[in-house]
Amino acid sequence: TSWGTAHARSVANQRRPLPIAGKRANRPRVSSHRPRDWRLGGPIGWPSPPRGWAVLRTARISPLSVAPVLGRRGDGGCGRRRGTGAGTGTGAAAARGPAERADHQRAEPGAAGARPLQVRRAAGPPGPGRPPRRRPHRRRLLPPRRGRHHWVPATQRLFGGQIVGQALVAAARAVSRDEQVHSLHCYFVRAGDPKVPVLYEVERTRTGKSFSVRSVKAIQHGKPIFTCQASFQLSQGSPVQHQFTMPTVPPPEELLTQEELIQKFLQNPNLAERYRKHLNKIQAEDVPIDIKPVNPPDVFCLEPQEPKQLFWVRARGYIGETDMKVHCCVAAYISDYAFLGTALLPHRQYHVKFLVSLDHSMWFHAPFRADHWMLYECESPWAGGCRGLVQGRLWRRDGVLAVTCAQEGVIRVEQKPNQSKL
């Protein structure tokens, strides 16, 4: 038969019901193992299509009905038919090229006197009077960018806060400017290599009227090292509002920075050499965060302490009144610094062998500026099974709760040797 031609026998013997919209069993299925034997325009006598395929039979079918497409553009045809046996059809236009085929061709009456059909071509570029083809949604890879500032911890692994912050940057670029992040949930799958670029792949999981979800995957060496789901929301008001009370602490202007505290410890002539090397290593890291501990731990004390710490934090440098998403990304970077170490305060008699984050979650409540001082309240409600759980809250100086954080990590320790630090 020619392209766009279909034949039918009697209604009782030949008519098959069309697939009902929404029925999963009747949806067209295409797989590589099926031969290209059911195209219109092929030789007579090919086998019938499998069950579930839509077959055009009578003129009662809408001209917009389309059979599944199988094969390349410009080959024998663009649809499927049910074979009618040898000697059925004319085969007069089997060699027609794609340029000679019209968008809608009227079929010739078949041997059984079937009424002509109109078949809409499914392939080819959109033209006059033809709606554009709908393409399946695909994940989009954001263009790569390389930052100028790159801090590597003493462990020679990628800093977890850097991965979280950069993943949030990638996710924020895939939503509208009016949408702001309100939560993110991350998993650290593999250790990151600081010598290899990180590729962030973003998937538009859902885009709704009020909320949108973006999934991010960080890839190194062709394998995911980090996964994240971030949710964004359009600004909405609500009469339901409450929060905890901010702890009462001294202002940051009255406290010493972490560098000043380390320098104070290093001035002690009785400090053991191994602890002096450790403090020098911390001081040489040059973390891009200003930190002022409210209750700095005593490095000379091995007594258990309450698993809670408070310190003022802010990003070094000026960020300014820019998009709120930028401040959220910087806060994600800050939130992972010294966070899991809160679970070690009651166990200072042990030496840490392995300390790594498993996951990280954040909830953003109110606008803030990451380059202004914020109080970071950290506490650990539980530890056990070589794991520790920590929770944190970032407070603005005016007492507004801006961010809530939570993290679980692996903690492996060993007994410290009985040596004095002095």
pLDDT confidence of residue 151: 61
The CA distance from 20 to 122, in Å, is: 20
* Residues 287-345 pLDDT 10s: 889 999 998 877 667 788 999 999 999 999 999 887 899 999 999 999 999 899 999 99
Under 8 Å between Cβ of 199 and 220: yes
Q: Which one from 212, 231, 336, 361 is the annotated catalytic residue?
A: 336
Give the right CATH number for 242-422 from 2.160.10.10, 3.30.2010.30, 3.30.43.10, 2.40.160.210. Answer: 2.40.160.210
**What are the distances in angstroms from CA 198 to CA 164, 176, 340?**
12, 24, 24
The two structure tokens encoding residue 119: 């078949």
Inform me whether the pLDDT recorded for 420 exceeds 60: no
Least confident window among 114-128, 209-223, 368-382:
114-128
Distance, first Cα to last Cα, the chain: 97
Q: At what angle do helices 160-172 and 324-335 cross, to 10 degrees?
A: 160
Query: Is 336 part of the annotated catalytic residue set?
Result: yes
- Give the DSSP per-residue string, 334-352: HHTTT-GGGGGGGGTTEEE
Query: Is 407 part of the annotated catalytic residue set?
Result: yes
Q: Which one from 105, 162, 231, 357 is the annotated catalytic residue?
A: 357
User: Does the predicted TM-score (pTM) go above 0.85?
Assistant: no
Confidence of residue 140 (pLDDT cuts 50, 70, 90): low
Query: Is 118 part of the annotated catalytic residue set?
Result: no
* Residues 81-104 pLDDT 10s: 444 444 444 343 333 444 444 444
pLDDT confidence of residue 281: 81
Q: What percent of the chain is modeled with pLDDT above 90?
A: 47
User: Radius of gyration over alpha carbons of the chain, in Å?
Assistant: 33
pLDDT confidence of residue 184: 98
Least confident window among 73-82, 124-133, 168-177, 338-347:
73-82
Q: Which carries the bigger pLDDT value, residue 67 or residue 408?
A: 408
179 closest CA partner among 106, 98, 125, 233? 233
The CA distance from 391 to 379, in Å, is: 5
CATH 2.40.160.210 domain residues, the chain: 242-422
Give, for 284, the enclosing helix (H) or strand (E).
helix 273-284
pLDDT confidence of residue 286: 77
Inform me whether the pLDDT recorded for 285 exceeds 90: no
